[in-house]
Amino acid sequence: MDATATIRELAARARAAARQLAVSTGQKREQALLTAARLIRQSAQELKTANARDLEVAGQMHLSSAMIDRLKLSDKGIESMALALEQIAAQTDPVGQTLAAYNRPNGLRVEKRRVPLGVVGIVYESRPNVTADAAGLCIKSGNACILRGGKEALHSNTAIAHLLREGLVQAGLSADAVIMIDVTDRAIVLAMAQAEGLIDVIVPRGGEGLIRAVVESATIPVIKHYTGVCHVYVHAAADLDMAERIIINAKCQRPGVCNAAEKLLVDEAVAASFLPSVCRKLRAAGVELRGCPRACQIVPDMKAATEADWKTEYLELILTVGVVRDLGAAIDHINAHGSGHTDAIITRDLSAAQRFTAEVDSSSVMVNASTRLADGGIYGLGAEVGISTDKLHARGPMGAEDLTTYKWIITGQGHLRE
């Protein structure tokens, strides 16, 4: 069967399940999630066995150690998956919420009511916990999902998806609300992106190449982020000790992810006092520094940053360091060179914080906090389907609410158009 036919068949099953889920009670969906959480805990051994098969193949494929690390399901990782499902289950049911309701002067009743999107396609790589997170948020929001994980995690993903399907069945819902695709070539992804009328939205997670391929071929809506070029700006009125802790955390705590800081901007007023010490500590943590001319003047042996450096997401221990004239220059620089993902200001000055949060055009804008905190779990969404740097529909970490749309329900007593 070719990719288009495969997707058509799977999506038809998912759509039937979606119709059932859309009118199911929140209680049933909650029960499906709690049962899946329990089954995940009970099946820790089976999950680790499936994962061991993936790891064995990964070893033969000579994957990088970072990739193998992301693939590995530890006891702690299994517990986290179960916990995330329970947190998602505990949230308020978004389905059926009234977003607005009023009577018009002529007595016509207008209501805007939240409803599921329908069928959500999710394409991702490596980390098997995404299977539970994404499927869990889809079930919570009354959607069916079609999941296509990475080839390297197929056994783990299939085992996890099986438990979510079992949770659905035990709650009296259709197992086909969670469909894991076991075909892992690129053609299936493009077929998903063109499944107009079958899949309502596709969320690709992964490298920029994969995401661009999806966007360019898609005829259905795509929610995505390309890169995370995140900035930390140290304002003239910053608590410099806090600023140092934050940039070290934002850069070093996990450099390979999209919300790690890639750029440090320091206000001219504090550059000479701030930079020497923090740069010494960053270097001690293994960070390569590349600076603007002024930064290179202050910190000896710093490599000069090229124009490309200011827009690059390194995803490793490299940091570009710039000295800026003032708050306005920092905002302009971030809006011109950033990727609209997450940018932070460190300041004790209220009006500087207000101006920065108002004018920086990013999905998350932070005050006195590490960019690494941009995360659905940390924002209280239980998990995230992905992080969007798009402006339409959803922005930033996407939770269950972001997998809904609304309908207008209009009630009259024979109202006509005059």
Cβ atoms 128, 144 nearer than 8 A: no
| Of residues 48 and 114, the one with the C-beta less far from a copy of itself | 114
Cβ atoms 355, 236 nearer than 8 A: no
| Of residues 162 and 395, the one with the C-beta less far from a copy of itself | 395
The CB-of-357 to a copy of itself minimum distance in angstroms stands at 5
The CB-of-152 to a copy of itself minimum distance in angstroms stands at 26
Question: H or E segment at 146?
Answer: strand 144-148
For the chain, state the CA radius of gyration.
24
| Of residues 219 and 306, the one with the C-beta less far from a copy of itself | 219
| Of residues 261 and 321, the one with the C-beta less far from a copy of itself | 261
| Of residues 141 and 157, the one with the C-beta less far from a copy of itself | 141
* DSSP conformation letters of 4-56: HHHHHHHHHHHHHHHHHHHTS-HHHHHHHHHHHHHHHHHTHHHHHHHHHHHHH
| Residues making contact with a copy of itself (CB under 8 A) | 19, 22-23, 102, 104, 108, 110, 117-118, 200-201, 215-216, 219, 221, 223, 239, 242, 245-246, 249-250, 253-254, 353, 357-359, 361-370, 372-374, 378-380, 390-393, 395-397, 405-417
Q: Which 3 state secondary structure label does DSSP give 372?
A: helix
Vertex 62 angle, CA 59 and 66, to 5°: 85
| Of residues 201 and 296, the one with the C-beta less far from a copy of itself | 201
The CB-of-223 to a copy of itself minimum distance in angstroms stands at 8
The CB-of-117 to a copy of itself minimum distance in angstroms stands at 5
Residues in Cβ contact with 328 at an 8 Å cutoff, skipping those fewer than 6 apart: none
184, 263, 337, 371 from 287: Cα distances, Å = 36, 12, 21, 17
The CB-of-299 to a copy of itself minimum distance in angstroms stands at 23
| Of residues 156 and 259, the one with the C-beta less far from a copy of itself | 259
The CB-of-360 to a copy of itself minimum distance in angstroms stands at 8
| Of residues 45 and 413, the one with the C-beta less far from a copy of itself | 413
Q: How far apart are CA 415 and CA 3, in angstroms?
A: 48
Buried b vs exposed e over 41-53: b needs ≥16 C-beta within 10 Å? eebbeebbebbee
The CB-of-251 to a copy of itself minimum distance in angstroms stands at 11
Q: Token pair for residue 110?
A: 């207008």
Vertex 119 angle, CA 41 and 173, to 5°: 50
Helices within 194-239 (DSSP H only): 208-217
The CB-of-56 to a copy of itself minimum distance in angstroms stands at 32
Q: How far apart are CA 208 and CA 204, in angstroms?
A: 10
| Of residues 104 and 186, the one with the C-beta less far from a copy of itself | 104
Q: How far apart are CA 187 and CA 190, in angstroms?
A: 5
Nearest to 338 by CA among 274, 275, 261: 261
The CB-of-161 to a copy of itself minimum distance in angstroms stands at 24
